[in-house]
Chains A and B, each alone.
Chain A
Amino acid sequence: AQTVTQSQPEMSVQEAETVTLSCTYDTSESDYYLFWYKQPPSRQMILVIRQEAYKQQNATENRFSVNFQKAAKSFSLKISDSQLGDAAMYFCAYSLQGAQKLVFGQGTRLTINP
């Protein structure tokens, strides 16, 4: 079965600190893409960052970066200098060339403490 697993249902961090959200996935395909999406209380899904599996370099977007470990099938999200607006549900997801579908993990609820 092709799955995405987020083992941390909830995380909290102090404002301005750094937090890392974990994600592991399982696939036998070599061509795939990994994503982190953010869902604030408004319910709107927003892309945070994207990683191509064939690239060894970790993707970064301002305060957001990933630690992509292909052999370990791990794709964690690091948020630096956490801000109150970062409070949301975060979903890890992957899409596969063969299956042609986008599969999500269970989500991690991130709380930012002022």
Chain B
Amino acid sequence: NAGVTQTPKFRVLKTGQSMTLLCAQDMNHEYMYWYRQDPGMGLRLIHYSVGEGTTAKGEVPDGYNVSRLKKQNFLLGLESAAPSQTSVYFCASSFGYRVEAFFGQGTRLTVV
């Protein structure tokens, strides 16, 4: 049972570089989320998706793009990384808003 898998687990980027974080879930969940976690800020929603082919902005979407081409995958892209994007990123998925979300192990991203 893989659950929610995030790739990579750690990454260091230079300012201006681009990268894509991959989230894969094997539970046939409709909803998928990307959060960032910063000290004292809790988990802030970046983007989310309520089904294949759909995406929506969360609380802090600037500087990020997402795609949900396949139901099981949710990609988070940083086109031009900035030091302010240094954070721990979590992906989560669920069957819907009524039930619990399952989380990946997180990706620690450092932008220097």
Residues of A in contact with B (beta carbons under 8 Å apart): 6, 9, 32-33, 35, 43-45, 47, 50, 52, 91, 93, 95-97, 100-107
Q: Does B92 contact A (CB under 8 A)?
A: yes
* Interface 9-mer from B12-20, B43-51, B66-74, B78-86: B43-51
Q: Is the interface of A mostly helix, strand, loop or mixed?
A: strand
Q: How many A-B residue pairs have CB under 8 A?
A: 59
Determine whether the beta carbon of A47 is less than 8 Å from that of B40.
no
Determine whether the beta carbon of A43 is less than 8 Å from that of B88.
yes
Determine whether the beta carbon of B42 is less than 8 Å from that of A104.
yes
A-B interface, 3 closest residue pairs, ranked by CB to CB distance from nearest:
A45-B103, A95-B97, A106-B42
Residues of B in contact with A (beta carbons under 8 Å apart): 31, 33, 35, 40-45, 48, 50, 56, 58-59, 88, 90, 92, 94, 96-101, 103, 105-106
Determine whether the beta carbon of B42 is less than 8 Å from that of A43.
no
From B31, B41, B48, B105, give the contact of A106 (CB < 8 A): B41
